[in-house]
Amino acid sequence: MLLSVFSRHSSDCKYAADRTFRRCNCPKWIGGQVNREYFRKSAGTRQWNEAEEYRLKLEDALVKGLPPFGPEPESVLTPVSVSAPAARPTLPVAPRPEEISAAKPEKTRVTVEVAVEAYLADARSRELESSTLSKLETIFRKQLLAWTRVQGLDYLDQIDLDALLSFRSTWADGRLAKQKKQSRLIGFFWACVRRGYIAQNPSMGLGKIKVIQIPTDYFPRDEFQRILDATYIYGDPRGGVIDVQAIRSRLRTMTLLMRWSGLRIRDAVTLERDRLHGDSLMLYQAKTGTPVYVPLPPHVVKALENVPPGPKPNPRYFFWSGNGQPKSVVADWQRSYRRLFKLVNLTLPDGSLRRTPLLPRAACGTTPAATACLQS
């Protein structure tokens, strides 16, 4: 890129230290090194996108030797007599935008399908989690792309704010899921802007989706004991794939593990046996990846060491067979805990049922030691 856009901030602009800041209302200019001299020219606008368009036209004029970087065409120069004194040269006049645009070929329009496939290919190249890739494919390939085809919107620049509002009205998700989906939609259009597919992001006008999240609570000592007691009578004693006593023991061990280790249900279900070192559990910090050791009470260690095998035992894991996706086995455990909570039937002081989408956060009234979320 020969030339670049910069903001010529006013003295009272709070972004005056950053010439590359785009979203302030200060005048936009074009500048760069041309023939070893610094060229600077006003873009005549306060909008960054319009200044970028003018920059492209100036670069095209620079490459072709047109004004203001080259001489005027001979047909418009005034003849000078040999005997007359040399006329004082005048500064070159910048070409009108329509003159430059006439010489520049039009840019090929990008289809929605091409933009979606390019975005998904970039997501795969960044080695995102398979669960994240699956969500992105659902949002953009199965929903957005399918919806634009029905609406007859073949090209990306045909999608405006009204179209996105109409698309959002088709979402049947909960508030939190809608909020995350809208965030991914905004990110998709920003990626298209960075690639040069479109000049502006049409999703920036979408209003925020309000999400009210109820803070999770911990279980006092007596309620946690009731949950443990319920594991002794959980399940149908008439038989199944594994013995009902083994099912009860596995559920009780899982509950104790999450209570004392602080693991979420997914991490607890997929816990490897070699993480247990004596009376401590080796875990890794999420941000730094540094290994840490979490001490466990002796009765929890004993329960882990003697946990009955599942339907398809795997010597590598305590609770998982290692087959399939982790989210599938997590869903099985979530269903088990929902049945367990119905059996416990915890109530509030007014007699209403207590909200129990969570496994015990604490077994006492002190600081919570563990959280394990069970999605309802």
- Tell me what pLDDT residue 69 has: 73
Identify the CATH class of 221-373. Answer: mainly alpha
Q: Report pLDDT digits (tens) over 11-24.
A: 888 888 888 888 88
Name the residue type at position 376: S
On whether the 112-205 domain is CATH 3.50.50.60, my answer is: no
- Two structure tokens written together for 90: 């005048």
Cα separation, 295 vs 262, in Å, equals 11
For 211, phi then psi, to 5°, come to -120, 125
- Two structure tokens written together for 49: 């996108």
Place of tokens 């939609």: 185
Distances (CA, A) of 355 to 219, 226, 347, 358: 11, 16, 8, 8
The DSSP code for 332 is H
What is the greatest pairwise CA distance in the chain?
A: 119
Give the angle 268-269-275 at the CA atoms, nearest 5°: 55
Cα separation, 83 vs 81, in Å, equals 5
Domain segments of the chain: what residues? 4-74+87-103, 112-205, 221-373
> The whole model's pTM is what?
0.52
Query: What does the DSSP assignment read for 93-126?
Result: PPPPHHHHHHHSPPPPPPBHHHHHHHHHHHHHHT
Cα separation, 58 vs 52, in Å, equals 10
- Tell me what pLDDT residue 112 has: 93
Cβ-contact 182, 204 below 8 angstroms: no
- Tell me what pLDDT residue 77 has: 45
- Tell me what pLDDT residue 75 has: 47
Low-confidence ranges of the chain (pLDDT < 70): 1-2, 71-107, 214-217, 237-242, 285-287, 352-376
Residues in the chain, overall count? 376
Q: Report pLDDT digits (tens) over 273-330.
A: 999 999 999 887 666 778 888 999 999 999 999 999 888 889 999 999 988 888 888 9
- CB-based burial label for 350 (10 Å; 0-12, 13-18, 19+): exposed
Number of Cβ atoms within 10 Å of the Cβ of 168: 16
Q: How large is the angle between the packed helices 221-230 and 244-261, nearest 10 degrees?
A: 150
Query: What does the DSSP assignment read for 11-40?
Result: TT-TTTT-TT--SSSSPEEEEEEETTEEEE
β pairing state of 28-34 and 4-7: antiparallel
Cα separation, 316 vs 274, in Å, equals 8
